[in-house]
Amino acid sequence: MTDLRKGILYYRQNIFPFQRETLERLAREGQRPERLLIGCSDSRVRLAEVMGAGPGELFIVRNAGNIVPDYGKHVGGVTASIEYAVTVLPIREIIVCGHTYCGAIQAMLHPETVENMPAVKQWLSYASAAAERGRKKNPAMGGDALVRATVAENVLLQLEHLRTFPCVRERMEKGALKLTAWVFRIEDGEVLEYDSAGGEWAPIR
């Protein structure tokens, strides 16, 4: 396991010097990120690093299952962060990024495994439609294949939920905001993007 204190020293000595100018400017002027990224809390998914995003470039919301509750059904940290970002920051794109082998999606498909965690159960219920769609569209699938299909359905469901936010709808109607669906494959580092015109997922190359 990495010694995090040593990691901080390494950052101070080897990385911060190259970011000093940018960070000093960001401290002075405040953040102006143009992208809001919604990802899973999973420790294997290092989104900013995978996407090559530097300081000040991504406003990030992470939670179990990269879930965006429907605006009318839940008020909490996720909804508040999204509302803040879209209303105050110059966000032009919201990316929802799921990932393969997602424990939240596995739990969504098997809710009996989270019976002893009422908060988790409640949280996952905001996206239970993804599990229903995953099963319905892929009746012959089980195990890993079903989890993969449901991971993708879940990301698309969260784009639908984003459209229930009045601030998101308003900016989309003005043509000032775009929604993007990605899935990060932790096993090979590929990021798949959903093409809504063709209804297909394809790796970003």
Binding site for Zn ion (CB under 5 A): 40, 42, 102, 104
Nearer to Zn ion, 26 or 50 (CB): 50
Separation between Cα atoms, residue 153 and residue 80, nearest integer Å: 24
Characterize the bridge pairing of strands 35-40 and 93-99.
Answer: parallel
Angle between helix 166-173 and helix 77-88 axes, rounded to 10 deg: 30
* Contact assessment for residue 127 and residue 67, using Cβ atoms and an 8 Å cutoff: yes
On whether the CB atoms of residues 109 and 141 are closer than 8 A, the answer is no
Rank residues 40 and 97 by Cβ distance to Zn ion and give the closer one: 40
Q: How far is the CB of 200 from Zn ion (least distance, A)?
A: 23
Token output for 162: 């984003």
Least separation in angstroms between residue 85's CB and Zn ion is: 21
40 vs 120, beta carbon nearer Zn ion? 40
User: For residues 40 and 147, which CB has a smaller minimum distance to Zn ion in the complex?
Assistant: 40
Return the number of the residue (102 or 181) whose C-beta is nearest Zn ion: 102
Number of Cβ within 10 Å of residue 189's Cβ equals 9
Rounded to a whole number of angstroms, the minimum distance from the CB of residue 157 to Zn ion is 14
CB-based burial label for 35 (10 Å; 0-12, 13-18, 19+): buried
